[in-house]
Amino acid sequence: MTASSASTSETGTASAPPAVLEVRDLSVHFRQGRGHPPLRAVDGVSFAVRAGETVGLVGESGSGKSTIGRAVLGLNPVTEGRISFAGDDITRAAPRVRRRLSSRLQVVFQDPYSSLNPARTIGQTLAEPLLVHEKSGRAETAERVAAMLRRVGMPADAADRYPGQFSGGQRQRIAIARALMLSPQLVICDEPVSALDLSIQAQVMNLLAELQDELALSYLFIAHDLPVVRHLSHRVLVLYRGQVLESGDAGAVYDRPAHPYTQALLAAAPEPDPAAQRARRASRAAAKAEPGPPSPTGCVFAHRCPQVADRCRTERPELRVLAPEPAPRAVACHLVDELP
Amino acid sequence: MAILRLVVRRLLSSLPLLFIVSAFTFVLVSLVPGDPARTIVGQHATEEQYENVRAQLGLDESLPVQYWNWLEGVVRGDLGASLFSGEPVTAMLNNRLPVSLSLIIAATVVSGIAGVALGVLSARRGGALVRTVDVLALLGLAVPAFWLALVLIAFFAVQFRWLPVTGYVPLGEDPVEWARSLVLPVVSMSLSAVAIIAKQTRDSVLDTMTKDFIRVMEANGFRDRSILYRHILRNAALPVVTVLGVVMVSLLAGTVFVETVFAMPGLGGVTQQATVQHDIPVIQGAVLYITVVVVVVNLLVDLAYGRLDPRVRA
């Protein structure tokens, strides 16, 4: 039923470094009230993030990408499946375990305006993890806060100021600094640049890339903006309605999208050339979605798929590894061999 | 130092406000039909007697001159004397201010504590408590304080005889009786305030709980209590303080009714009586006192903002 059979191909290679994060057959269902079937926000997703690697989760809103991140952080109850961090099962970790884990697993959220406590100075916010985990002295704490602020491109005197005195981009740098205070192994980046101006986005993305090189960080990078994900990710998972439709090497997925949904998603990014953009709009208008909800047994994308065949509506395609690719690549589509 | 400057600046800027409010009150009272001189001399007095009393009270002067005379006195610290009892207004009001202040402060403390506690509880528990707060809020806004006061008297003072029916005992005379005499008035004043504050607190706490900085802490394994008390409440407090200031001012208005029902010798009662009698100096003095209280309350609210929210400090 669920598209999980390809997961072994993603994680099982002998030469690969050990996975920092491993998610297996993860399902998160939300109750929708009496008489309604549960909402399958995440439906049988498997992937792994290795040391120093960035895995991107892309998809439109409602695809379940943020829910996966939140499940890893323990913010959503997991319905089925297993999440392990460096080999330890953290699927339903107790708060005490989470507290210990927080020195190795951190998060940067989307909204820079709500992600910092407005009533505390930047210094207090950044020092908090140090005080909890290491009980370090005042002078040393202040020193490390200042060093981290410098590292993310903020003046050291920012420590005495409040979040309200900084712009969105600066606050996002501070949020990144907070995540990195304890030198974690994995940072969940939940749309970290989506709320920022384009030029600021680029700065923050470059900062994330530099920090990854320096600190051998792993990122689970969640975004709806494809160029952003491509820029930072080594591998990507394309999600739709809680299921992985395509996964593989970031460059390959972008240059040669195999799944009709990935193709549609790439085509949805605006085109700088107005003539090309017009042509694309016309072709998109021609391929209208079928009315009604998607078939419960078939492919989740069937009702919107331009290439839909009869078996797509009755039989759910499993994630299958594509043969000729040099890097592992998996697609959940019956028609993958027939598509252009 | 910055705080001191803020206080001085705010007090200075409230001087024009006091001037405008007093002028406005003066004009309003003069527009209301009624004539204190006529009331004093009675219906059977001669025209000559009436004119004499008018001249004595300074009521034969034109309105601007009357106002100017009053204002001159205020600057010297003399608020004049009651037209009826001849008692100096300052002495009269100074005697009554503690009664009203006791009421307002007690009602604010009670509704602040009860409102915040109910609000936080209902934000955390949800369910039945939420509906209770909603019903209470509706009830508190719909039921007038003076009616509630009468019902409370009927039950707790007349039926059960737990508390005095009416009256006020000064704090200096007998602290226990002072507290007992305040219970029913404070409860009847506080009901709507509790409801308003509880609702505001709940919304504010719920809003803060959805903020990402709380999410980050939850992801780091800080659950419930420690997060709530250290981080949510402080951020949720700002709108609550705003409402508390508004509530305090409306409690001030509430004292007029409650002091009348409970026969308490406070500012509200004296204002009501003076208005009926057209006792202009007393009305003017009472309005001046009340305005000062409002100014001080607003100043306290602003100072609280500064303590709570660094964004306000500038």
Tell which of B204, B207, B212 to mutate to test the A interface (max A CBs under 10 Å): B212
Domains, chain A, ranges and CATH? 7-104+182-331 (3.40.50.300), 105-181 (no CATH)
Q: What pLDDT score was predicted for residue A177?
A: 93
**Residue-wise pLDDT tens digits, A245-291:** 999 888 888 888 888 888 888 887 777 778 877 777 776 666 555 55
Q: Give me the interface pTM, i.e. the ipTM.
A: 0.79
B277 domain residue, yes or no: no
Q: Which DSSP state fits A23?
A: E
Spell out the SS3 assignment of B216-229. Answer: HHHHCCCCCHHHHH
Q: What pLDDT score was predicted for residue A187?
A: 95
Which positions in chain A touch B216 (Cβ < 8 Å)? 107, 109, 115, 178
Q: Is A62 exposed, middle or buried (0-12, 13-18, 19+ CB in 10 A)?
A: middle
Tell which of A21, A75, A76, A114 to mutate to test the B interface (max B CBs under 10 Å): A114
Residues recorded for chain B? 314
Cα A98 to Cα A71: distance, rounded to the nearest angstrom = 12
Cα B149 to Cα B184: distance, rounded to the nearest angstrom = 7
CB A10 within 8 A of CB A46: yes
Q: Is the pLDDT of residue A97 over 60?
A: yes
Cα B153 to Cα A319: distance, rounded to the nearest angstrom = 76
Which positions in chain A touch B232 (Cβ < 8 Å)? none
Q: Is the pLDDT of residue A7 over 50?
A: no
Number of domains in chain B: 1
Q: Is the pLDDT of residue A323 over 90?
A: no
Q: What pLDDT score was predicted for residue A9?
A: 43
Which positions in chain B touch A96 (Cβ < 8 Å)? 221
B197 domain residue, yes or no: yes
3-class secondary-structure state, position A222 = strand
Cα B196 to Cα B116: distance, rounded to the nearest angstrom = 10
Q: What pLDDT score was predicted for residue A106?
A: 93
B93 domain residue, yes or no: no
Inter-chain residue contact A118 with B309, CB threshold 8 Å: yes
CB B300 within 8 A of CB B245: yes
Structure tokens at A243: 């299921």
Strands A320-321 and A329-331: antiparallel
Q: What pLDDT score was predicted for residue B32?
A: 78
Average pLDDT of every residue of chain B? 85
Cα A77 to Cα A36: distance, rounded to the nearest angstrom = 19
B58 domain residue, yes or no: no
B237 domain residue, yes or no: yes
Q: What pLDDT score was predicted for residue A294?
A: 62
Of A95, A116, A119, the CB nearest to B234: A119
Tell which of B210, B220, B228, B229 to mutate to test the A interface (max A CBs under 10 Å): B220
B126 domain residue, yes or no: yes
B1 domain residue, yes or no: no
The C-alpha angle B301, B205, B305, rounded to 5 degrees, equals 20
- Residue type for B194, please? V
Structure tokens at B74: 């205020």
Inter-chain residue contact B220 with A121, CB threshold 8 Å: no
Q: Is A259 exposed, middle or buried (0-12, 13-18, 19+ CB in 10 A)?
A: buried
**Residue-wise pLDDT tens digits, B100-115:** 888 899 999 999 999 9
Q: What pLDDT score was predicted for residue A6?
A: 42
Sign of torsion over alpha carbons B171, B174, B175, B179: negative
Range B141-164 burial, b when 16+ CB lie within 10 A, else e: eeeebbebbeebbeebbeeeeebb
**Residue-wise pLDDT tens digits, A166-205:** 998 999 999 999 999 988 999 999 988 888 888 888 889 9
Which positions in chain A touch B231 (Cβ < 8 Å)? 117, 119
CA distance B308 to chain A (A): 7
Q: Is the pLDDT of residue B311 over 70?
A: no
Q: At B106, which CATH number?
A: 1.10.3720.10
Residues 6+ apart with CB under 8 A from A179: A106, A107, A108, A187
Q: Domain containing B239: what range?
A: 98-265
Provide the pLDDT confidence category of residue B230 given band limits of 50, 70 and 90: confident
Q: Is the pLDDT of residue B158 over 70?
A: yes
Q: What pLDDT score was predicted for residue A13?
A: 46
B144 domain residue, yes or no: yes
